[in-house]
Structure 1
């Protein structure tokens, strides 16, 4: 049997070999992202919800306990004062008493913020694990916190729980967890004049789901069957139709009819039109399945039949994350819901397709003209056999396959979290879908769909610190993308064309938003009115359209390097893109590995490495970045190799050099001998002085330290208005005139106060008085814990009968302290002395 880890490695290699792991052409770090605008508010976090009203020119943002109305042209500008919607303290206390965190959970996180009608927004928040909903009046941008609605079934309790919600014709269609424990999932309709409906509490309907999105499709418009509009929900759940050795978590798409009114006797106040099917995103030949659905975006067109859904998935093999993007059509989803049902076969003890006759009218369908001709005008008039079948057969047998049968994009080592798509027109009139994909570490992947695959244009680091992108909103009028994360909000243009410095670079980007301006020799936004002066080729990226006069690339400056023989030289080469390959020339001739084994190109360093250079390596080195036949000059080096100075000296005057060396050796030897004799003399004299013992050795070391914070600490020098004196001025000096104490910045302590919690002394062991004659271990702890620039006298010896502290231990502590002080960024060299 093949080990699992070996199978995992082989799978990743197959992904690489087959080209599934796509690389972005450009990688732009946070410092290089231009035209970025940020909105940071002190104390505010979790920008989870955004709604853009381009008619009013307002961006509504829901964060933790606050709602903003921002200018979409500049998100740093607030159009109205923010709405502060906090959960009351008593609710937060109840939340904590129920075992929830008072740092991360017991707040009011805004999870729903949508347009309700022309005059109001509808919003819901977690409200410290007691969900509440309210209305916001747009004219004044105010929220009436005195008239709150119960948010159960509309908004999740937990801010980290997935949910979906959409307002359609004054009704909220929501998918969330109905109770505090999160054990009762529900898809329901509430708010407004419609009858409240919800899913049946059965594992066959919903089994531990995690909802990620919803969408309203107007299928009644221009429908020859007189069909109804539908609401689609996307989620993951634990599958029941597989045995314990197969996938347990799968992705789903479910639907309900907008006109559903529930059943008369069976399925009262329950959906009669609820159906669900598996959503597949996989690479069949690799047997690689992406089951963790993260987000779905609905790309709408002029007609609902052309509606497409873009979904991002995650998968985890070992410690490596793999993400994918799959595309689905509304018509493929319809075919699955019109197909056969799946049921559990008792005899075989397994799930399989339902093969018997299907009741009429068809279970799970909306009311159409066919129903009306048979006298059924409402779901309340459906017969019980149809409703009973719908109750026990909510799952479809077929699965929804992606367009082209495989993912559009796969990336290894990246976690996709959300997606938004914009359809734009190229210069030649073609339509392109541009994908904006947020990641778990705060990056934005930008790609363009080209048939059955995508070209990954670039990846941008939007936040200086890793933060997951929770929400993405696009402004088509202003060509902006807004990204929300736990730490802040970011605004970016659809494209930064200025980063492309030549015509070939601009064309190779294959960005529908950018084109090369022939007249001004610059890459500019393609929506600018230049006519035939713009060059662009998104489909083929053919750089031959860039004639010589159009491709005025800036030539790199030559860098002069002079090194000694035998040196290892590294010549960096910054490539124009991640898809480019380096080509080096030496004195105008292209280098190859066969030319010189001492030269190699290091992929990690992105540099040419020359090991042990010789004189023959002197010359001009040029690095070119080559991509699809286009060559860009990146770096130019003028390398000079000279002999070592010592070798030069010996070759010119070997005898003179030898005499000079001997003179230096003799001089250094004499100095070392003198220093050795001086050290012996001072050591012997110090020992003689210490052996006298008739009186204490009055030696003082001065060093910037802080006394330990202990009870009965000696006070600092009194202020001018105090009559208290700690020492007589004469006590500052010894009889020989040497300084005893140098006043500095030592901390003041009250002589009768209690010890500071942050003190350096040992808790429960007060410092003996006076502090300058404390035991050696207390003195050393004072030195070790010091962080100020105050000066204090350290007595190295004691009086008659006192135990003298070990001199070696104290010297070690002072040596350690000196080394530590040298590393402090704010230390004063003049004060750090002994």
Structure 2
């Protein structure tokens, strides 16, 4: 009980300390430059409709091809431009029956029951080896490189080579035709295994014991050729990195820790003990911590192996994660191969049953040493292979796979710690700068789709820039680099992205180029240029170590001041565009440091100066400087004038001008409307006058019109008055014509297509009297003897217009009046006339 309380107190103390440190400012290294998705240059992206999970990348630099394994598809892309495919894509989907079986076993048909490509590596010069989850039934086969075709006939069981679950991590390597894989070996994911198969050697695997592997999460592996130039005749080794639940600590029996394990390439298992099991399997804890506070990052996320031809210089970069309260923290630790070797050559750890706790093994260690590779000393003693090792050595190795020593990181602390950042992937390039010094450049992917580029300068790390690789936030799930072409490739759920190692063109000045401390960029006489783009190194400026900008030869120059006029009593914001995220703004007023000006109205913000309630005392010259590494660069210059009357301010003048223009438009529109109103009134009057004249004319012309027979003037009734014609200039001639006669207003003769009384057409000889261009009239009786029978019997298409007299004068008028009333019911009827 007392020990439990003690453990709880220790736990609480550590948690409080972690919370305090998680808020520390030095746990957040700021990238010097931020480049958004739209501002990326020389970037290329690849994706296909209805395809996702571009997470398995394999780069062949000799053939300059990037192979991409996705969900149920494999692509071969040109390394220099991933938007172009070398060959048509391979479709490798799981059959429908396999997907149905996957669903019947309780898996999700939207996420689990597909064939996710999880392993893709070069097998030999002609083939790739590929494995997929195959709807929770892993399968592996070969791809013929030349034609880029999948050999389904050679498909084999992928158990132990590829995980069942696409969400589970795993790792694998092909070494000399043999596959070394670390994964979960069953459907339920409860049987972890580190396996070797495919080759001419026996299949080898780990012992199924919690002391060997206890719920591991495999994240990476590495092949180290330690036999090269070895005086002791050592064997090559394969290293595996993972996290697992540890049982060796008293207080934290369920604590997760980071591990590194190794096996020897020549291991063939034991003859009786550990048959077809690793006899060289050893593991040790990887420590990544802040030593002064004893704070440990226990969960390893991924690892990258950086090695050259000299394997002794091999280093491993691991990303570790921790979550303390609501703070996500990522750390990067660096490990040397010699430190790992030292841990595996050190003391073993054992479980003491009497004390019921773990401790260092202190008894005599059997000979030959358990877990060691076969070396020259073994051969001298007659042990040429692991099959010849004695049982006491093998039994000890079976029971003591864990080493007591911890593998400390370089410098015994992380090289980088970031709070509120989730690092997911890392790759490293070793570059020679213009000075001849070598630097490690780290490319680190984040869970939000950004890429951090950092350079290690001694024990310090400087983040050069951060790039937004994906517009939509998503984890960077894989990274590979081409060291020859200086290109980086990133894979995610939706895209493959290709970017160059450096975009030096973003640095517009010599000072900016040198302050970047980018080993890939140098300043020439005219621009900041990528070193690889230069045929030879001319006279260039670069200082990765100290960023000494005194190397730059500044040319005198000044910015043009921006004149501003504001009204007293208002607020104004003066922008200040800094050249980097590491720069701070420095303002001067009238050539004096603004910090020394006793005025509470100034507020210096990261990218602007706010002046509140401006007054005449604020008028004058303002300058903004971007200060970085104690060097200042003028980035803004303003001349501010404060006026008391709003009408004198530029803004007020603009507003007044706008108001005057608006009133002018209103006045002009008013005048136009008034003129239009006058025109309407005038036209209305003219229309009324014309209507009155028309009405008077119609009143004067209310006479009866009809075809009539020829009558002489002497035959007209007594008292008849002749009315002159208004439509012809030959009125006298018409009146003299014997063919037409006009009444006194009660009768008017109009020409019509009339026939003579005898039924024949009128005469058209030269003596015929008629109006030119008009049909001849029909001869009917005069009004004194006109009746309806005469009208109805007239075979004519002319018409009669009658001036009706008083009611009851004669039967004809009465009957005609009734007809006219019926006519008025029609839409186009004229009450003064009717066709009969």
- Bucket of the pairwise TM-score, normalised by the shorter protein: 0.7 to 0.9
Q: Does 1:586 align with 2:589?
A: yes
CA contact (8 A) 2:19 2:324 kept: no
> CA-atom RMSD, angstroms?
2.1
Question: 1:153-192 maps to which residues of 2 (within 5 A)?
Answer: 153-192=160-199
Measure, in 1, the Cα distance between the counterparts of 2:543 and 2:485: 24
Residue 13 of structure 1 deviates from its aligned partner by 5.0
Partner of 2:690: none
CA distance 1:376–1:103, change in 2 (3 Å): same
Residue 265 of structure 1 deviates from its aligned partner by 0.7
Residue 345 of structure 1 deviates from its aligned partner by 0.7
Measure, in 1, the Cα distance between the counterparts of 2:544 and 2:73: 43
Partner of 1:273: 280
Measure, in 1, the Cα distance between the counterparts of 2:179 and 2:371: 21
Question: 1:701-740 maps to which residues of 2 (within 5 A)?
Answer: none
Residue 391 of structure 1 deviates from its aligned partner by 0.4
Secondary structure of the 1:186 match is strand
Residue 588 of structure 1 deviates from its aligned partner by 2.9
CA contact (8 A) 2:247 2:253 kept: no
Of 352, 361, 368 in structure 1, the residue corresponding to residue 368 of structure 2 is 361
Partner of 2:776: none
CA distance 1:485–1:505, change in 2 (3 Å): same
Measure, in 1, the Cα distance between the counterparts of 2:14 and 2:637: 45
Measure, in 1, the Cα distance between the counterparts of 2:434 and 2:154: 53
Measure, in 2, the Cα distance between the counterparts of 1:262 and 1:199: 10
* Larger Rg computed on CA atoms: 2
CA distance 1:509–1:93, change in 2 (3 Å): same
Partner of 2:612: 611
Question: 1:122-271 maps to which residues of 2 (within 5 A)?
Answer: 122-245=129-252, 248-271=255-278
Partner of 1:27: 34
Question: 1:640-789 maps to which residues of 2 (within 5 A)?
Answer: 640-645=641-646
Secondary structure of the 1:534 match is coil
Residue 639 of structure 1 deviates from its aligned partner by 2.8
Residue 364 of structure 1 deviates from its aligned partner by 0.5
Measure, in 2, the Cα distance between the counterparts of 1:240 and 1:133: 35
CA distance 1:224–1:481, change in 2 (3 Å): same
Of 81, 92, 113 in structure 1, the residue corresponding to residue 88 of structure 2 is 81
Question: 1:430-579 maps to which residues of 2 (within 5 A)?
Answer: 430-518=437-525, 520-525=526-531, 528-549=534-555, 558-579=561-582
Secondary structure of the 1:495 match is coil
CA distance 1:2–1:178, change in 2 (3 Å): closer
CA contact (8 A) 1:593 1:599 kept: no
CA contact (8 A) 2:449 2:474 kept: yes
Residue 545 of structure 1 deviates from its aligned partner by 1.0
Residue 641 of structure 1 deviates from its aligned partner by 2.5
Question: 1:295-374 maps to which residues of 2 (within 5 A)?
Answer: 295-374=302-381
CA contact (8 A) 1:501 1:523 kept: no
CA distance 1:285–1:193, change in 2 (3 Å): same
CA distance 1:583–1:246, change in 2 (3 Å): farther
CA distance 1:37–1:497, change in 2 (3 Å): same
Of 56, 62, 73 in structure 1, the residue corresponding to residue 69 of structure 2 is 62
Residue 245 of structure 1 deviates from its aligned partner by 3.6
CA contact (8 A) 1:15 1:21 kept: no
CA distance 1:5–1:375, change in 2 (3 Å): closer
Measure, in 1, the Cα distance between the counterparts of 2:597 and 2:126: 75
Secondary structure of the 1:428 match is coil
Secondary structure of the 2:634 match is strand
Residue 647 of structure 1 deviates from its aligned partner by 11
Measure, in 1, the Cα distance between the counterparts of 2:565 and 2:115: 64
Measure, in 2, the Cα distance between the counterparts of 1:600 and 1:18: 23
Partner of 2:49: 42
Secondary structure of the 1:105 match is coil
Of 375, 386, 391 in structure 2, the residue corresponding to residue 379 of structure 1 is 386
Of 403, 415, 419 in structure 1, the residue corresponding to residue 410 of structure 2 is 403
Measure, in 2, the Cα distance between the counterparts of 1:246 and 1:24: 39
CA contact (8 A) 1:513 1:527 kept: no
Q: Does 1:599 align with 2:602?
A: yes
Partner of 1:415: 422
CA distance 1:84–1:363, change in 2 (3 Å): same
CA contact (8 A) 1:449 1:455 kept: yes
Residue 636 of structure 1 deviates from its aligned partner by 2.6
Question: 1:100-139 maps to which residues of 2 (within 5 A)?
Answer: 100-139=107-146
Q: Does 1:95 align with 2:102?
A: yes
Question: 1:614-633 maps to which residues of 2 (within 5 A)?
Answer: 614-633=615-634
Measure, in 2, the Cα distance between the counterparts of 1:424 and 1:187: 34
- Deviating above 6 A after TM superposition, structure 1's stretches of 4 or more consecutive aligned residues are 1-7
Secondary structure of the 1:375 match is coil
Question: Unpaired runs of 5+ in structure 2?
Answer: 1-7, 650-836
CA distance 1:286–1:526, change in 2 (3 Å): farther
Residues 359-398 of structure 1: per-residue CA shift (max 9 Å, x gap): 1111001111111111111111111111110000000000
CA distance 1:629–1:421, change in 2 (3 Å): same
CA distance 1:545–1:13, change in 2 (3 Å): farther
Measure, in 2, the Cα distance between the counterparts of 1:645 and 1:495: 52
CA contact (8 A) 2:522 2:529 kept: yes
Residue 472 of structure 1 deviates from its aligned partner by 0.7
Residue 275 of structure 1 deviates from its aligned partner by 0.3
Measure, in 2, the Cα distance between the counterparts of 1:115 and 1:321: 37
Question: Unpaired runs of 5+ in structure 1?
Answer: 649-834
Q: Tell me the TM-score normalized by structure 2.
A: 0.74
Secondary structure of the 2:341 match is helix
Measure, in 1, the Cα distance between the counterparts of 2:560 and 2:605: 23
CA contact (8 A) 1:502 1:523 kept: no
Measure, in 2, the Cα distance between the counterparts of 1:75 and 1:556: 43
Measure, in 1, the Cα distance between the counterparts of 2:511 and 2:502: 17
Residue 530 of structure 1 deviates from its aligned partner by 4.9
Secondary structure of the 2:465 match is strand
Secondary structure of the 1:397 match is coil
Measure, in 1, the Cα distance between the counterparts of 2:536 and 2:314: 32
CA distance 1:246–1:542, change in 2 (3 Å): farther
Residue 7 of structure 1 deviates from its aligned partner by 7.5
CA contact (8 A) 1:312 1:417 kept: yes
- Decide which moves more: 145-154 or 490-499: 145-154
CA contact (8 A) 2:520 2:532 kept: yes
Measure, in 2, the Cα distance between the counterparts of 1:642 and 1:260: 89
Measure, in 2, the Cα distance between the counterparts of 1:560 and 1:524: 39
Measure, in 2, the Cα distance between the counterparts of 1:437 and 1:5: 32
Residue 528 of structure 1 deviates from its aligned partner by 1.4
CA distance 1:89–1:644, change in 2 (3 Å): farther
Residue 567 of structure 1 deviates from its aligned partner by 1.5
Measure, in 2, the Cα distance between the counterparts of 1:527 and 1:429: 17
